[in-house]
Amino acid sequence: MLNIDLTGRRALVAGVADDGGFGFAIAKALAEAGATVCVGTWPPALNIFMTLLERGRMDESLTLSDGSRLVFEKIYPLDAVFDTMDDMPEELRASKRYKDVGDCSIGGLATRLVADFGAQPLDIVVHALANGPEVKKPLLETSRNGYLAAMSASAYSLVSMVSRLGPLMRPNGAFASLTYMASERVIPGYGGGMSSAKAALESDTRLLAFEAGRKWGARVNTVSAGPFASRAASAIGIIERMVAYVTANAPLSQELTAPEVGSVTAFLCSPLASGITGTTVYVDKGFHTMGMALGAAGP
């Protein structure tokens, strides 16, 4: 039997703040395959996430197939908009949700990982981060600041993470991220520069695969997931319509589930995918293959 075996490997999944999204599903799939899992959580969501865990509100979701329970090895505060703590505005550092978490930049995360686990603590890094403050605005109405914020949080953060965490990877390490088909097709309502950010993420994946592969022997891939009605995706404002449209028109007409994305990501980070890098893998029930909707008007 051919199994995904990640026993003895340590994964970091950046972008987990609840049990309802792709980040959590990926973390769980990695744990099912035997990896130990650390997560990075946005500071404003950290206290709520910790409370859910401590009060047992996520116990059912944390249960693995063998009856054991997923326990995160470490939960790190992470704001991936900042490469170093010096980049963070003083007023933000002093704010209620940030003042007690310490260095939550990407560089700070790297320092904490080394302090906790040694010089090369990682085998797998998953970037499950995206944010566009003006995502509900058409591109023509998006401000420069809104556009650049989407690019910073959703695309450059991957570049920064590979740059700072690549040296911490053990041999045959793997990076993975999450993208969306709006990178290459028009999705009306998915605005604010987010489509541009996803296109940049996919382009960067190819170049990072070359550079990180030659420098550290690490692989870099991205998963283009179909629309999924997570709590985070509700910020888009049209997520239910997106899900319904894909379900009605994709080759496979069942709604996409988070575990389906988690399983493919775990595969890409495993030795079974040792020959795959620089690739965008679609997990969208085949919707990306369609050139015309089933209900399109004909002659």
The CATH number that applies at residue 116 is 3.40.50.720
Coil vs helix vs strand at 142: coil
Q: What are the C-alpha distances in Å from 160 to residues 107, 205, 274?
A: 9, 12, 23
Task: Please report whether residue 297 resides in a domain.
Answer: no
Strands (E) located in 144-218: 169-179
| Domain membership of residue 63 as a residue range | 10-283
Task: Please report whether residue 14 resides in a domain.
Answer: yes
- The mean per-residue pLDDT over the stretch 66-73 comes to 96
Nearest CA among 278, 253, 296, 287 for reference residue 184 = 287
The whole-angstrom separation of Cα 183 and Cα 194 is 8
Instruction: Return the pLDDT at 292.
Output: 86
pLDDT digits (tens, 9 = 90+) for 85-97: 999 999 999 999 9
Instruction: Return the pLDDT at 297.
Output: 47
The C-alpha angle 94, 125, 268, rounded to 5 degrees, equals 150
Task: Please report whether residue 1 resides in a domain.
Answer: no
Q: Is 190 a catalytic residue?
A: yes
The whole-angstrom separation of Cα 74 and Cα 62 is 15
- Per-residue pLDDT band at 296 (split at 50, 70, 90): low
Nearest CA among 284, 286, 267, 264 for reference residue 275 = 267
What is the tally of structural domains in the chain? 1
Nearest CA among 204, 217, 205, 208 for reference residue 275 = 217
Q: Is 156 a catalytic residue?
A: no
Task: Please report whether residue 295 resides in a domain.
Answer: no
Task: Please report whether residue 182 resides in a domain.
Answer: yes
Task: Please report whether residue 131 resides in a domain.
Answer: yes
The whole-angstrom separation of Cα 49 and Cα 161 is 22
Q: From the candidates 147, 180, 245, 282, give the one annotated as an active-site residue.
A: 180
How many other β-carbons are positioned within 10 Å of the β-carbon of residue 123? Answer: 24
pLDDT at 79 > cutoff 80: yes
Task: Please report whether residue 289 resides in a domain.
Answer: no
Q: From the candidates 147, 190, 245, 282, give the one annotated as an active-site residue.
A: 190
